[in-house]
Amino acid sequence: NGMLGHTHIQANFNRNPGIDLMSHKSVGLDPAPVNQFWNAAFKGWDGPNRMMPGWKLEGTNAVITMVDNSENLYPDHRVIHVDKLSYGGAFKLMSDQTLNVPGHDHVTFGVYARSSVPSSISAAMRYTSGSIISSGPHSGSGEWEFISMTALYDHSAPYFYFSITGDVELTAPTLVFGKTPATPGASLMSSSGARMSGTFTLGTAIGLPPAAELNTPYYWKLPKNEGNVFLMDMQGDPIRTIIRLNHSTADRFPRGTIITMMFSEAGTRVKNNSYIKLKGSDFVSVENSSLTLMTEGGASWTEVSRNE
């Protein structure tokens, strides 16, 4: 209770003490609930090279694998399993970008974690004083718990990470500036349309040949919901043929999806047929060539363009 005089919210938006106000003279502000962690859905995992877009995975003291999609906590958000090895101290999972916004002093961040190991993970950051502080750890319940914290951060050397000391599964990390509730798993692009003023970056994934035991060398399956650009990894043998793409109903891409397959080696043939409708002739890769296709939602693809 009290009186609001003739003043305004200052430019340091997110140190407001949780007061909401609306008047003819001024209004209060809420922080923008935009997740600053790029690739919070853990897409584009490159296992052989141990790389994931948007994330630093430094150190050799943890083995990272992708969990089956049936374990997803949120739609289209992958779950990763971190097998913490017994040496090298804590494994740190952090953004590969420096996150810092001059107009915000508070930060709120966290990640959903599931573990049977007590204290297997905590959130940690550099406080405004320069010291490292951390959240409460996972209880080891074996259930999903949101490991999170909010505090004033150090603008001169911002540092946010998840400190992992035991085996744990992770999904839907989120970081927002301001003292605001976290929104893990949020989708902030409207399905009715969107306009972007910044760089639009497409997800990139690895396209692998069919497994030998399937005995279907011409039927290829690109990873659905992993991106639109596929780096075709021929496993040392580029003399291969592609006749079908994602033929099974469960693996088909939505109508209107455009994909580009990038070929670093010469010799891979994409056959012109009723399921991959090319511009009159087969596509045969040369070094650093590409083929762009569009699907109408069924089993067929139509060529948009090629570079060979």
Q: What is the pLDDT of residues 100-124, one digit of tens each?
A: 988 889 999 999 999 999 999 999 9
| Mean pLDDT of the chain, nearest integer | 88
What local confidence, expressed as pLDDT, does residue 228 receive? 95
What local confidence, expressed as pLDDT, does residue 188 receive? 62
What local confidence, expressed as pLDDT, does residue 187 receive? 60
Looking at residue 53, the DSSP 8-state letter turns out to be T
Query: DSSP string covering 65-112, please?
Result: EEPPGGG-SSTT---EEEEE-SSSS-EEEEESS----TT--EEEEEEE
Q: Which of 255, 250, 259 is nearest to 298 (CA)?
A: 255
- pLDDT digits over 4-34, tens only? 454 444 445 445 445 566 778 777 677 777 8
What local confidence, expressed as pLDDT, does residue 10 receive? 46
What local confidence, expressed as pLDDT, does residue 11 receive? 45
What local confidence, expressed as pLDDT, does residue 172 receive? 94
What local confidence, expressed as pLDDT, does residue 102 receive? 85
Phi (first) and psi of residue 7, to 5 degrees: -145, 175
Of the two residues 280 and 4, the one the predictor is more confident about is: 280
What local confidence, expressed as pLDDT, does residue 180 receive? 78
> DSSP 3-state assignment of 64?
strand
